[in-house]
Structure 1
């Protein structure tokens, strides 16, 4: 399991983020507080408060690939 703090600031960012998540074969969830949504669901992403940092939970052991893929979205940890 790879956990990464990410920041999505615009609708274009959300769309790009969603498309990147869809390229992975593993489960990917976004967490905002106590809420979890499927990161491969654009509607799920928009249901979260995007003004706050989000936690990406990727069910994979390839931490390097996840960090490289989402480098543009990495927020403050």
Structure 2
């Protein structure tokens, strides 16, 4: 499992993010406080505070984890 911070601040970024992670074969979760949301659920993402960075958990190892990191790289908080 890998964990990174991402920032999704706008509706457009949320749509782009969900479109990107939907094609991954692994599970991806967003963690905001005590809430864990399926990152492939656009409705779930809109239930968290998007004005702050959130933690993203990628449930994969090896090449699948590398592929996931490549897909989400535009959303990683700098």
TM-score normalised per structure 1: 0.89
Structure 1: 5+ residue stretches without partners:
none
Q: Does 1:18 align with 2:11?
A: no
Task: Give the aligned partner of residue 56 of structure 2.
Answer: 56
8 Å contact kept, 2:21–2:71: no
CA contact (8 A) 2:30 2:38 kept: yes
SS in 2 for 1:69: helix
| 1:67 positional shift | 2.2
- Bigger shift: 59-68 or 26-35? 59-68
**Is residue 2:75 matched to residue 1:73?**
yes
Per the TM alignment, residue 23 of structure 1 is displaced from its structure 2 partner at its CA by 0.6
Question: Where does structure 2 lack aligned partners over 5 or more consecutive residues?
Answer: none
What is the RMSD computed on CA atoms of the aligned residues? 1.2
